[in-house]
Structure 1
Amino acid sequence: MTDSEGSNKESLLTRSYFTEGPPSIFMEILKGCFMCCYLICPPTPSSITRKIAFHPPQKGRTYAIYLENGKCVTNASKLIGKRFHIKPERLTKCHQSDYDELMRRVECYTLRTLLGNDIIVIKCSPEHQDAEERLSRMVIIFAQPNASDLGEYLQPFHLNIPLLAELFETDVYAFDYSGYGYSSGTVSERNIYADIRAVFDFVRMRRPNKKIVLLGYSIGTAAVADLAASKPDGLVGVVMVAPFTSGFRLFGAKPTNTHTSKLDRFTTCDKMGSINVPVLVCHGSGDEAIPVEHGLEIARRAPRGVPPLIVHGADHMSIFNGKYLQTFRRIRQ
């Protein structure tokens, strides 16, 4: 990539909106609530996990789905075998033409997971198909955080999925977890693992010659680690942005603890040893939601881990919203 091309891509990022992470007092209250819930309700850890770990936006707040005939559809289960498109809600002051231009390179699919849920999937391609050979052979599957859905990643002049495709010069697939957006089912740890597996299998079936990189952000790193630990054919790399070691270690115990409780959830740290491809961890030194020590421990446990990227001053949001360009430069390498 030439200097001019690089500066053009970086200028796209500098127009993103930068939001700060949650204040520390909020995280302390959240941690206290988490531990109280587990102590008071030990028989139902999965229901507690749903309440604490998943915060999907209200359905319909960020996007709508329309069939080719213009009919609005409210559930992915009604889209099987049909052509449809996503219309993002205007969450910014951008003109409708900006949204139309953004969506021009977005393809939409529905997939049924092994657990029987129907999920919404999009594929975004770069504007110009002239990437270096290394990148042209790859595709990226992006697993998003716990409080967003596809509509929030389809907003002009924010960090969005089409922009990721442009920056990385390769196709990027993204999806809504079960219970998010218009995907059917309920949110759960088990479901997000089945969701990303369905997307991976779909890409492998449709594009068997492509090499796949998994990119997870926040809770998406748990989904990425679970899939990567199964050593699927076609996987060549893993990127984990702001990962956490496990639920208990995040909300009370130290990230370096060697013992994992049977009640623990999202035990990413225990899966790292089974991942046989290169792993890059990116973390902000100022992350109060998931302290940087979690990222360092995840990197330490990866057999093929590359030196992690620790971004000085970045918090849980700014590590991946465009404020710190080094995150995207490093991933692209």
Structure 2
Amino acid sequence: MPVACLVYDCVHPCHPAVGTVPTIDLASRYECGAVILHSPLMSGMRVAFPDTKRTWCFDAFPSIDKISKVTSPVLVIHGTEDEVIDFSHGLAIYERCPRAVEPLWVEGAGHNDVELYGQYLERLKQFVSTELTQP
């Protein structure tokens, strides 16, 4: 299910996880209204090799190194039991993001069922209707 990941003058749908890679890349280089990251990954290498602690030159998806350049408000959403992109990825992205708003950690949710929890839509509505309207 596509989710809103990047808000500028409109909302651009993208897939969770891998879709957060181009979203972070674009938001780190261009001003945008807001960013919503659903199950973001720190980097491709860190998904494949969880003990990786640094970014290697051949890592094609170094989102963890780009997130600090994002100047827009960022909402991070991640399931605590994600079996594809470990929850630690979402937490690390959130901690390095300078304009992160209160995240949504969905207790018990995996990778493909975060949207099924009631707090998912409630948090999205709150972010778009309240937090985006504040200066």
Alignment map for 1:145-164 (pairs within 5 Å): none
Paired residues, number: 119
Unaligned residue ranges in structure 1 (runs of 5+): 1-137, 145-216
Find the aligned partners of 2:117 and 2:37 in 1 and give their Cα distance. 16
The match for 2:28 is: 229
Larger RCO of the pair (alpha carbons < 8 Å, separation 6+): 2
- Over 6 Å off, 4+ runs: none
Show the counterpart of 1:63: none
Alignment of 1:1-333 (within 5 A): 139-144=10-15, 217-232=16-31, 235-254=32-51, 257=53, 259-320=54-115, 323-333=116-126
Once residues 308 and 326 of structure 1 are traced to their aligned partners in structure 2, the CA distance between those partners, rounded to angstroms, is 11
Displacement of 1:307 after TM fit? 2.1
Report the AA paired with residue 315 of structure 1.
G
Secondary structure at 1:229's aligned position in 2?
helix
Spell out, residue by residue over 1:135-179, the C-alpha distance to the aligned partner (whole angstroms, 9 max, x if none).
xxx6311112xxxxxxxxxxxxxxxxxxxxxxxxxxxxxxxxxxx
Cα deviation 1:221-257 (Å, max 9, x = unaligned):
001101100123xx111000011100111111347x2
Aligned mates of 2:28, 2:38 — CA distance in 1: 17
Cα gap change, 1:294/1:142 in structure 2, threshold over 3 Å: closer, same or farther?
same
Structure-1 separation of matches of 2:125 and 2:10: 12
- TM-score, normalised to structure 1, is 0.34
Q: Check the 8 A contact 1:242/1:284 in 2, yes or no.
A: yes
Deviation at 1:306, TM superposition (A): 1.3
> Given residue 330 of structure 1, which amino acid in structure 2 is its aligned partner?
R
The alignment-based identity, stated in percent, is 36
1:253 to 1:291, Cα distance in 2 relative to 1, 3 A: closer
Work out the CA distance in 1 between the residues paired with 2:92 and 2:51: 10
Give 2:24's aligned amino acid: A
Task: State the secondary structure of the residue aligned to 2:29.
Answer: coil
CA offset at residue 293 of structure 1?
0.5
- Check whether the contact 1:238–1:278 (CA below 8 A) recurs between aligned residues: yes
Whole-Å Cα distance in 1 between the matches of residues 22 and 14 of structure 2? 7
Question: Deviation per CA, 1:258-317, whole angstroms, max 9, x where unpaired?
Answer: x21001121111100110011111000110101111000000110111121110111100
Gaps of 5+ in 2: 1-8, 127-135
Q: Quick one: which amino acid aligns to residue 281 of structure 1? A: V
> What do the CA deviations read for 1:181-208 (whole angstroms, capped 9, x no partner)?
xxxxxxxxxxxxxxxxxxxxxxxxxxxx
Indicate if the aligned counterparts of 1:231 and 1:274 stay in contact, CA closer than 8 A.
no
